[in-house]
């Protein structure tokens, strides 16, 4: 899956790569999370445009969004049939500019975060589907989900799902929604080639959405990983002790 990502390339460079009309200026983001507004590239009236949408798709048929599960990812294997996505995949496809994403893997009994990026350092274009939800009082909300696929042999070492990334040569094909046919895009909804991505462990500071700085991307050593583990132990012990003594046992883009 993809639950956090990074967008650090210069706005002008992203505009040149994705070819949208607008030139928005925005600061780098190192810890983008669900429910936040994120950039989406789409085609309107024959031209590519830059739009902000809430990360977490909300289908148009939802009556009460408060009781609806947040859909941050759409599985490529079922996106054509799932009620939440089957219309969007045919008529509302977009690209999300990014420079990498985070994934967590169980290491020594805890979740260790890793930063994943293209091996050549180039920006990414996540495959996305979006919907505009209209509320009973006339309010509208543009929402989006990232398409995911089964991980390839290398990235499967971290997680069994990966975001689908679209190559710049295929941007036009993915964004072309002039017809309802999807045969042309089916070959695009696959995992990256083996060796296309690289990754390294990073600090557990990324676990907190409030932390959003370039230090999050720095690789950490095995010794630093161990130090973070040791630092977290007293807190975990204290929480367990508190639970045992209680009666019921009982986280804008721009």
Give the residue numbers marked as catalytic: 2, 103
Residue with tokens 């975060």: 113
Taking CA atoms, 76 is separated from 41, 88, 148, 247, in Å, by 19, 13, 6, 45
Query: In terms of DSSP bridges, do strands 47-55 and 140-150 run parallel, antiparallel, or are they unpaired?
Result: parallel
Q: How far apart are CA 121 and CA 178, in angstroms?
A: 33
Residues 12-16: contacts with CB under 8 Å, at least 24 apart: 13/123, 14/39, 14/97, 14/123, 15/50
DSSP 181: -
Measured between alpha carbons, how far is 132 from 53 in angstroms, rounded to an integer?
Answer: 9
230: left (phi over 0), alpha (psi -120 to 50) or beta: alpha
Cα–Cα distance list, 136 to 60, 132, 192 (Å): 11, 13, 41
Q: Are residues 155 and 197 in contact, defined by beta-carbon separation less than 8 angstroms?
A: yes
SS3 string, 29-53, reads: EEEECCCCEEEEEEEECCEEEEEEE
């Amino acid at each position: 899956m993809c639950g956090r990502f990074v967008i650090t390339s210069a706005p002008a460079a992203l505009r040149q790569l994705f070819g949208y009309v607008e030139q928005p200026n925005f600061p780098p983001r190192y810890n983008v999370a669900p429910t936040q507004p994120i950039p989406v590239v789409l085609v309107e009236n024959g031209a590519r445009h830059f739009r902000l949408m809430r990360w977490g798709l909300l289908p148009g048929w939802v009556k009460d969004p408060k009781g609806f599960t947040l859909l941050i990812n759409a599985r490529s294997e079922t996106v054509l049939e799932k009620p939440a996505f089957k219309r969007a995949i045919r008529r509302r496809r977009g690209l999300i500019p990014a420079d990498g994403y985070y994934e967590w893997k169980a290491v020594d009994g805890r979740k260790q975060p890793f930063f994943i990026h293209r091996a050549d350092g180039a920006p990414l274009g996540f495959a996305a589907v979006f919907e505009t939800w209209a509320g009973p009082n006339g309010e509208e909300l543009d929402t989006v989900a990232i398409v995911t696929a089964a991980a390839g042999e290398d990235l499967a070492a971290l997680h069994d799902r990966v975001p689908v990334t679209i190559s710049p040569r295929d941007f036009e094909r993915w964004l072309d929604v002039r017809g309802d046919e999807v045969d042309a895009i089916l070959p695009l909804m696959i995992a990256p080639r083996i060796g296309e991505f690289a990754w390294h462990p990073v600090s557990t500071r990324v676990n907190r959405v409030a932390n959003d700085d370039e230090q999050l991307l720095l690789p950490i050593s095995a010794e630093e990983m161990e130090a973070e583990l040791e630092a977290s132990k007293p807190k975990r012990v204290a929480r367990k002790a508190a639970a045992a003594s209680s009666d019921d046992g009982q986280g804008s883009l721009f």
